[in-house]
A and B are shown apart, each in its own frame.
Chain A
Amino acid sequence: MPLLRRIANLFFRSSVEQEIDAELRAHIEMRIEDSIAAGMSPEEARRDAMLRFGNPTITRERVTAMDMSLMLDGIYRDIRYALRQLWKAPGFALTAVLTLALGIGATSAIFTLFDQVLLRMLPVERPQELVRFEWRGSFSGSASSFGGDIGNYFSYPMYKDLRERNEVFAGVLAAMHASVGISWHDQAENEEAELVSGNYFQVLGLKPAAGRLFAASDETEKNANAVVVLSYDYWKTRFAASRDVVGQTLLISGHPFTIVGVAPENFHTAIGGYRPGIFVPVTMDSIAMPWMASRHNLDNHQSVWLTVAARLKPGVSIAQAEASLAPLWHSLRAEELKLYPNASPRFRERFLDKSSLQVKDDSTGFSPGRMELKTPLIILLSMAGLLMAMCALNVATLLLLRATARAREISMRYALGAKFRRIASQLLIEGCLLGLAGAAAGLALSPLVARILVRLITNSDPGSEPYSTALDMRVLLFTLALSFLVSLLFSAAPLFHFLRPDLANALRQNTGTASKGSQYFRKFAVGLQIALSILLLGGAGLFVRTLDNLRQQPVGFVTDHLLTFGLDPTGSGYGDDRTPEIVQAALDAVRRIPGIESAAATTDPELVGNSSSGGYALQGYKPAEDERMDFETPHVMPGYFATLHQPLLAGRGFTLADAKGGPKVAIVNDAFAKRYYGSAQNALGRSLSDSSDHPNFDISIVGVVGDVKHQDLRTDMGPAVYTPYLQQEHPGGVQIYARTAQKPETLEAALRRAMHDLDPKLVVDGLRTMDTQVDISTSNERALAVLAISFAVLAILLAAIGLYGVLAYSTQSRTREIGVRLALGAQRRLVILLVIREMAIIAAVSALIALPSTIALARLFRSQLYGVTVFDPVTLISALLLTTLVLILAAAVPARRAASVNPVEALRNE
């Protein structure tokens, strides 16, 4: 906090001391001058002056102490006075504090996330020394990516060369994100994992929470290091933080691994954007992730999959490191080029000469999630800033209102000799107290908002959010700083009011009046808020209608009474040969559960954003040049269409006879049949080939099914070719669907038990009802709708508070006028009109501005809308009506008060 102390000194201590010093010095020097003039020698004069003055240091201390204690005493008295003032006006204080709490709560919640995603450094030793590698240049081979550009990923041999042949790094680590099946005490589940190099924890400088962490000896050779380190959170939730687990064995993808230790508490990963439960040596890749085995990652230069980070040696800069790596990179690439014997000169050039290795700052960790979340978070934080500004504006309005009512009191204090500084500090202290109370309430609100936010924008299940939503020191400091700044701003508004008070006038009048300027400001602020709430309500309405339209979509199959889960036998140690029989056994077990009508499986799950496509050639059809003959290619088990209630338009579905050895068959969807054969009936009996180079047309179409929404609710599936799962060479994991007679939720436990009984190693992944899955698939739309609604509700609340403030003020200051009018026979109805007429005009003007702005803004978001135009009259009229309703409610109280003025009392009071 050195900065804060310097600022404090600037304001208090040092400036005070300097002034005292100057004053005392002036005194002594004047004495010396006089003595010299009277005939003393300069030395004598100085001695005499000091003698008369006494010890100047002690005097200065005493004077300073006097000033400081009096100043503190003054502040203390101001605080007590301010508390009393606020206590006397509970309605005002509560409104102001709640308004601030909303703004501060929302802003600090968004900052909680913003800080974690974009700002915070990794919780490791000296994070500023960490760097990350990225490469540029052409590439040919396979890549496995967790997100971001392919240049973020390296092959294992390349990583080892970089690690062992550089001179600028204290250590180089590698890591890869993975998802594995874990089985412990016959309980299996899917869990995020990180494959790491042996030196991973050493380079990061981490100490174990229990047991030991990996060392270089844990990365020796392929499949030789069956050890695992647990993350602290996983250890706590899954193993109850028991130290006994060290040394025990758990199954990863069906293979035994020994638990050697637990990672430290606050550390999650060097990659970021997810929270792995376990760490596994990188040499175990083909066991932990069997589907990667065919790539032979450990000695394959042409498979990139590792993120590589390093710690700089002390004193080495990023530029120096990059420069020193350039020749090494060039020679390594030159060696790799030998793998491409038929490379063209152009390829050589791009592969070698135009290739470069870049070193980037990695103090915050590599996070592909950061790239995706950056823009939404910046937008959210700006919106929160806008909201905060509106809150501050409202509180400023309320304070102004109050200041006007207090004009007499303050003018009186001026007249009694109070300085502007004293009055200013009084008002500032009142403002800061409000700000602090608002911050406290906002902080209570913030974690709740943050949790909803994290779930919305990362689309995670409760309990497994990738970001923390708890308050920490940084968020606390941010919130305090924010509330302090805002307090200063809104306290300043009434200050201007009193800068040059018109004493005589203010004292003479019984009720003060605000200056013209501040009245305009207030009305403008309320108008702006009304316009904003119409705008936000309109936007929210469009998003809600979009969501509604999507949910009303016919998807092509029946989503209710349908349970679904993922099952991947290869993740539990089964090979290609045994996988189909396990899938079949699993389906049989599911079908045996009472209450389940039918069950089937596919490799290409519905409505999860998944797409797996493949090329087919059609007999008798000549594709045009550049015509893409790629289709969605789900491999399904018999009974799939019957289970989903996807209509069979012609022919037959698959049977158990459609297996290996039997004639190859396919079922196409309506879109496919219509495009290539004109009708469903026409498609039957036609032949396809899954190889376009040497087509043998050995697959015959035996059926046609209806079209469905596949990836998400917005897009049609397009032409699709379904083939039997039992005829696949590499069958792989499946998504199982079960049609239930009763409420599907009630069968979840029985289903888990059935799978567990079949084989405890099997992981039932993401078991949920299809309706839930549909919800998840529209989660982005829902997030947008929820956020827009939240902001709209806040905006309209603020507008209502603002309107209330302005009307309450004008009623209060016109009590006398209203009394006179009533005494002269005015009708109460007219009096109400008098009070609200002006604001009604302002509201109407705001609406006139807001409606076209809503339409203009909605056009920008058109791609996010579905089945609704930006001119949607239902939405716009509802937004208007709702705003009007809330505003009428806000205006009702002051209007009633105006109408119920008792003329006799109003006039007597004057």
Chain B
Amino acid sequence: MAKNDLQGSLDLLVLKSLSQIGSMHGYGIVLHIQRASDELLNVEEGSLYPALHRMEQSGWLRSEWSLTETGRRAKYYRLTPAGRKQLDEAEKSFEQLVKGVRAILRYA
């Protein structure tokens, strides 16, 4: 339970996005989250980067510079095996969080 804070959910969104689209830069991750959530989730774009860097230092992500479709240089992130493991755990604990919150909402 302890890990289920807001930061945890941003991590989850990023990890999940990368697991779905493979390798992507920060801007692309923002776009993906918007699109995949039917524009429901709007990440503050700047706050994404400290999270990306932290996850990279923790060994969950690996990054490299390469060119976008429009020929611009951007830093692309991809999941490492450790990141994949982390995603599993984060998904599980998020499910529990959702279950717990639902249970409280339904209690009456």
A residues with a Cβ closer than 8 A to B are: 19-20, 22-24, 26-27, 29-31, 33, 52-56, 58-59, 62-63, 66-67, 70-71, 74, 416-418
B38 within 8 A of A: no
B46 lies within 8 A of A66 (CB)? no
> Which secondary structure dominates chain B's binding surface?
helix
Query: Given the interface contacts A30-B68, A417-B59, does A59 sit within 8 Å of B27 by beta carbon?
Result: no
Q: Chain B residues near A19: list those with CB within 8 A.
A: 75
Q: Which residues of B (6-54) have their CB < 8 Å from a CB of A?
A: 25-27, 44-47, 49-50, 53-54
Other than the known A23-B75, A30-B27, A62-B50, what 20 A-B pairs have Cβ atoms closer than 8 Å? A20-B53, A22-B73, A23-B49, A24-B49, A26-B27, A26-B73, A27-B74, A33-B70, A52-B44, A53-B46, A54-B45, A55-B46, A56-B46, A59-B50, A63-B49, A66-B53, A66-B57, A67-B53, A71-B57, A74-B57
The distance in angstroms between the C-alpha atoms of A416 and B73, with both chains bound, is 30
* Distance between A25 CB and nearest chain B CB, rounded to angstroms: 10
B100 within 8 A of A: no
B72 within 8 A of A: yes
B80 within 8 A of A: yes
> Which secondary structure dominates chain A's binding surface?
helix
Q: Chain A residues near B75: list those with CB within 8 A.
A: 19, 22-23, 26
Q: Chain A residues near B45: list those with CB within 8 A.
A: 27, 31, 52-54
* Distance between B79 CB and nearest chain A CB, rounded to angstroms: 11
B74 lies within 8 A of A23 (CB)? yes
Q: Chain B residues near A58: list those with CB within 8 A.
A: 46
State the interface size on chain B (CB cutoff 8 A).
22
Count chain A CB atoms within 10 A of each CB in B26, B44, B50, B70 and give the residue with the most.
B50
B27 lies within 8 A of A27 (CB)? yes
Q: Chain B residues near A56: list those with CB within 8 A.
A: 46
Q: What are 28 A-B pairs at a CB distance below 8 A?
A: A22-B75, A23-B26, A26-B25, A26-B72, A26-B75, A27-B26, A27-B45, A29-B72, A30-B25, A30-B72, A31-B27, A31-B45, A53-B45, A53-B46, A54-B47, A55-B46, A56-B46, A59-B50, A62-B49, A62-B50, A63-B49, A63-B53, A70-B53, A70-B54, A417-B59, A417-B81, A417-B82, A418-B59
Q: Chain B residues near A23: list those with CB within 8 A.
A: 26, 49, 74-75
Q: Chain A residues near B25: list those with CB within 8 A.
A: 26-27, 30
* Distance between B52 CB and nearest chain A CB, rounded to angstroms: 8
Contact check: which of A31, A59, A418 meets B49 at CB < 8 Å? A59
* Distance between A53 CB and nearest chain B CB, rounded to angstroms: 5
The distance in angstroms between the C-alpha atoms of A20 and B49, with both chains bound, is 9
A67 lies within 8 A of B72 (CB)? no
Q: Chain A residues near B27: list those with CB within 8 A.
A: 26-27, 30-31
Q: Mark B56-81, 1 if CB is under 8 A from A, else 0.
A: 01010000000010101111000011
User: What 3 pairs across the A-B complex have the smallest Cβ distances?
Assistant: A54-B46, A59-B46, A70-B57
The distance in angstroms between the C-alpha atoms of A53 and B74, with both chains bound, is 16
Query: Given the interface contacts A27-B26, A70-B57, does A59 sit within 8 Å of B72 by beta carbon?
Result: no
The distance in angstroms between the C-alpha atoms of A27 and B57, with both chains bound, is 20
The distance in angstroms between the C-alpha atoms of A67 and B58, with both chains bound, is 11
